[in-house]
Structure 1
């Protein structure tokens, strides 16, 4: 169980895949944890169902206002635009990297490993993602595998990765186990 654990969900102001945000969010809450929505700007984020606008969600805090010490883990939802934007924001990249530096668990789904590539934390690790990221991940020194969920314990922390929304059940279980 995750009683008393606080998990940062790092998302861009626009472009997160809604189901990759909402399903892990529910899983963290059901496991007794507290999810917090962290973004690069205050206000609301705009989620998407693939390429169509979906719901908006209130930001709890901004990446330049929080410290890794306030969290027990990091969850990076996917969507193409979400990590593509995050990897261009130095504070967001540093926030993600700080979880690895602190040895805290990280979970990343779909296109979200792009942020981890930019943070230079995938070298020597085995992970999965949306298939179009495999060359980027290999070029960054990772071993890419095509499987529902990959739990990598090579390194200072646990890294849980999955490929796509169809993998969410396994991803949510592995992520909450790692965070717990």
Structure 2
């Protein structure tokens, strides 16, 4: 297993995140030695979504208004429909995401998570994937959208859906362990 000891990963969510898209990557990151922190515009708890119904409530580790991007080495953006739709209209959340790209830090985004990338101005010129319904949004933002289970473009890792989580985790951990210097598709 890759050793990510000492790395601090922010997980930016609000209510309605697809629960498995937070819990499974978080487990993989924690198992690899990273420290993960739920960051949210909400200050106490966030509630997940389990495919077709509300899921569990998870504690917020750091309220967004107290989080600084320079506290973290990387960012995870779980999907779900409600979560990224709310985050992309929250100026503080968009600025938080943009700061990771401005600093060249690794970012991983799955499912509908790339909506927030569009708002942060980080999708243009990148090769990435997402839930299929975001294809046109991402192309309109200047991205090269592809239908692959996991795509790595520099320090950005994207995946389409919960079924892709094993590949998503593998590629994000690889980017974190190599400093994000590779540029490749996970399906190569």
TM range (shorter): over 0.9
Q: Tell me, what secondary structure is at the counterpart of 2:16?
A: strand
Aligned to 1:63: 64
Aligned to 2:181: none
CA RMSD in angstroms comes to 0.7
Deviation at 1:179, TM superposition (A): 2.0
Deviation at 1:63, TM superposition (A): 1.5
Aligned to 2:7: 5
Q: Tell me, what secondary structure is at the counterpart of 1:173?
A: helix
- Correspondence 1:162 to 2:163: no
Hey, what's the Cα distance between the residues in 2 that align with 1:140 and 1:70?
A: 29
Q: Tell me, what secondary structure is at the counterpart of 1:178?
A: helix
Under a length normalisation based on structure 1, what TM-score does the superposition of the two structures give? 0.96
Hey, what's the Cα distance between the residues in 2 that align with 1:136 and 1:89?
A: 18
- For residues 1-180 of structure 1, the aligned pairs below 5 Å read 1-12=3-14, 14-153=15-154, 158-180=155-177
Under a length normalisation based on structure 2, what TM-score does the superposition of the two structures give? 0.92
Aligned to 2:182: none
The number of equivalent residue pairs is: 175
Hey, what's the Cα distance between the residues in 2 that align with 1:122 and 1:111?
A: 13
Deviation at 1:51, TM superposition (A): 2.7
**Segments ≥4 residues shifted beyond 6 Å:** none
Hey, what's the Cα distance between the residues in 2 that align with 1:62 and 1:131?
A: 31
Aligned to 2:186: none
Structure 1 unmatched runs, 5+: none
Deviations 1:151-172 (A, max 9, x none): 002xxxx100000000000001
